[in-house]
Amino acid sequence: MVDMDDADVSLSEAELDELESLLASDAVPDDCMSLEMLDGYLAAVTVSPRPLETVEWLPSVWSDTEALPTGGGVQRLLTLILRYHDEIAQTLGDPDGWEPFCYASDETADEVRLGDEWMTGFELGLELWDEDWREDLEAHDADTFEDLIEKAMTPWTAEDMEQADDETRIEWLTATAATVRAIHHLRDACGLPPVPAAAQAIAIATAAPVGRNDPCPCGSGRKYKACCGADA
């Protein structure tokens, strides 16, 4: 259960295309996540046993080393990312509501193959989980969490992974998605705190007075004057 209004936060096809374009644009650093990597990343973020606040996960979307620059498309990018987070959090519980997003791969490519970026993002999201997350759970529930995580990642660590064709990789991704949904259901069954609604920060930033030197309510980790308040 997500701690957010029942309003639909899902991105339209046009908005999803816009998000994909902005993530690949000059508005962000070169090491910004692709949409496929972001999808895997947010899947792990939203099933964290201890809910992750926006400021904990958002900056890594665009860079490990650089701050997000200001500019015309930046606030729009933040808005779409936060809504995408909430969309995944809302739809993970519905078998027909969420599927991993991945690009079709070039079978002749030597580097990135179908599902590789998604799993990279998923692993990065798992790294954000609090080191003491087991303490909020009964021992058997914590063990089940760990078993499910291992199950989700096992196909992608096989020695013959590089030789797997796209059909096999789609089967792996489908199985991994089912396991992520199982983690989501386990999270609810354990009565863990709800996932904070990231998109609510957008309304706060525009409706409530915020000091220019205060942290931006969008969760970017920057001062309001250098983020959503830059235009003002």
pLDDT above 90 for 149: yes
pLDDT band at 208 (very low <50, low <70, confident <90, very high): very low
* pLDDT at residue 230, rounded to an integer: 62
What pTM value is reported for the model?
A: 0.83
* Burial group, residue 189, by CB count within 10 angstroms (0-12, 13-18, 19+): exposed
Q: Which residues pair with 2 in a beta bridge?
A: 195
* Sign of the alpha-carbon dihedral angle for 164, 169, 170, 176: positive
The identity of residue 154, as a single letter, is T
* pLDDT at residue 2, rounded to an integer: 47
pLDDT more than 90, % of the chain: 47
* pLDDT at residue 36, rounded to an integer: 95
pLDDT above 50 for 142: yes
Angle at 228 between CA 222 and CA 232, to 5 degrees: 120
Which is higher by pLDDT, 94 or 28? 28
Least confident segment among 77-91, 112-126, 197-211? 197-211
Least confident segment among 126-130, 160-164, 177-181, 218-222? 218-222
Region 110-136 average pLDDT: 90
Q: How many CA atoms lie within 13 A of 15 on its CB side?
A: 14
pLDDT above 70 for 153: yes
Residue extents of the structural domains in the chain: 2-226
Region 104-110 average pLDDT: 57
pLDDT above 90 for 57: yes
